[in-house]
Structure 1
Amino acid sequence: MKLPRFVQPPVTPTRSDIRIVVLTSILGFFEGHALAQAANTLPFVRRSLDITAADMSQLLGIVRLGAVVAVLLSLLGDRRGRRRVLLGAFVAMLVANAATAIAPDVATFTILQTVVRMTGSAVGALALVMLAESLTPALRAYGISIFGGAVSFGAGTALVLIPISDLGPESWRFLYGASALGLAFYPFVALRLRESPLFVAPSEPTALWSPLLDTQKRPFWIVAVLSFLSATFSAPAATFAMERLVGDVGLRTPVAVGVLLAGGTLGGLGFLVGGRSSDLWGRRPVLFGALLLAGVGGVGMFRLTEPAALAAAAAISGFGAFATVPSLGALRSELFPTRMRATAVMWLNVAGVLGAVTGLAAGSYLIGRFGLSTTITALAACMLIAAGLVLAVPETRGRILEPG
């Protein structure tokens, strides 16, 4: 079956292109599935391990910080090669998530999920680098969009399986144990995944702080602030979307889920459209438009009241958010030299994590004073600023990445 023209790859992919996209997408699916579990099973884990809501919030905050430690794994990827570290992080992520199924107490749960966050973040960053360095430049963003879709599909699969947790007080453990199924795919991927064609073992080890201190006119800090600001808005908007639909608007839970699924399904086209457009027109114009769409749609979710209008707002927000993935993902990889690319990409991911934590903290404080809708609308200013910062970043479409 032939894809519609607006979601077709901009050029015909080679066999090598198809191989790297398929292999990294397998890893991405299980990454998305593993990283979604902690939030999805939150109420069930709380009851099972007797954790208060306040303590669970602090616990998830600690778990999120695992992404900061993932910088060390990306540093190894710059020093010893992408493939070895990527596969090692993938196995560690699956084992830690599966082991969570038998976590006897809060401390064990927290430690294991912090490892999952650390290794899962490294899988995402290193897979992104592998794609950028292996794909034909003319379809780099398009390939990244398929990987992003696989991650999203994995997270969606985890969400669909949540009803299993209702079968009994300890049924949530089966959802974590299911991660072990990913180990069956390891031999298939490991036998076919090749080292990045651009990686060369450095004569001098890359320093952890190199991307932060680099002075060769590479706008690390601009992209870092952009990532921070976009996450400051998107994290609380996504976290409180269901509460808005059920608590504020008064929709029944099945209707609210239907609104989000309908909007998310239509918005999912943003992955392929965003990737194709980014490869044809450039990273900057697509990223600029995607950030604005995500902001406008997100505000609509917290201002509108009719189900159809809410579904349309969810579609607009999802389309923008998903289109951001390939354009920003390609931009992040293309801005930095090969010798520090993995470390730089992970530092930028950390900026996003810190932005999400800041947004949730600010949201928790402001919602009590001004209400949910007003708070999210105010935070949308972060998306406007982030879109403006895109104009200060150089265009990188089609850039030839050099070995290093």
Structure 2
Amino acid sequence: MNTGVEDSTRYCFIAEWFDPQAALVRQYQLFFYPRDCSIEIFDLKTRRSFLKKTKYDAIKGSEYFVGNVINVYSRQMTLKEYGDEFTRKQLSTSQETTLAIIKPDATRFKGDILQAMSRDGFKVTQIQMCHLTKDQAGAFYAEHKGKPFFNNLVELMTSGCCIVMELMRPNAILRWRDLLGPTNTQQAQASAPNSIRARFGTDQTKNACHGSDSPESARRELEFFFPRDTSRSRAPANTARLSNSTLAVVKPQAVKDDQLAQIVKDIDAAGFNILALKSFNLEKSDCEEFLEVYKGVVNEYGDMVCEMSSGTCVALEIDAQGDPAKFRAFVGPADPEIARHLRPQTLRAKYGKSKVQNAVHVTDLVDDAPLEVEYFFRILSQ
């Protein structure tokens, strides 16, 4: 979001917050003032002020978009829709979304592809690793049924795991198509050698990635993988194995700082196999339950809960290779300062800021690994 605006500029959203005490979904009118990162909130039911205009720079301007979940003083609010026509006109084009798929033939390059997206200004707002069935692949590519390449395409898309993403940036649909390059890999290598398909594709079918070709296609395809009504969804399930594995969670601050791509690259380069991957926006109560083992043990427990519930995090199931402690050592000591002195090549040494914002949560106790993996990839994914 551009913050080079006049003092009077104000964006308005309709936001929802689930009140656990009353077991009610409450609606609010939320105003964001980009000039000084102030917010103001009104309760729509009581028509009273809920939060007076307050400077709140814990949330970046780029996080104010429809569909996102923001954390305001430990309350998770979902931005459901634009609150006025001015906001709609100003932000609907600058925050366009599109669907991206890293196809099975290119998932081994996922870190490089994520990095290319980040460098081109894309924000990954949702992500999941999945394995399509033949029926799901056929339904997704139904418009191509009867074409010569259809059967080969379905065969490719069901041959292994793929990674689906919702991407956001100004002019996202056309920009992602440009970054992909021509559909045929040979043509891409000839005319756009730096494009994703030129770098990671093989032919016209095994061409690394998919991208929506129009706003209508983007809406339909995003709904296929990231449905708004999950109770009636037939979206592909995650790929979690839920056995002989351990958990890593790229924390919200690291996601906001665009470190996901490099963390994934480092994990792959170290020889660890990512079995499942999925983005989450955790409620404070979920974080309290998940991190309960640290309650009364570490002084930072309350801050850890606030950090984990402060925005989008990305959970990864890692193949434990018979010993979860190996991956735990690769992540490094909880305190990044200590990690930088003792284990400078570990993830926390490279990407952590503090004991709370230390980039990656990892299962500490071997016996807890199955429970933590199941918590994210079975319980929270339902």
- Fold agreement, TM-score > 0.5: no
Q: Report TM bin, short chain.
A: under 0.3
The answer to which structure has the higher helix fraction is 1
The normalised TM-score by structure 1 is: 0.26
The normalised TM-score by structure 2 is: 0.27
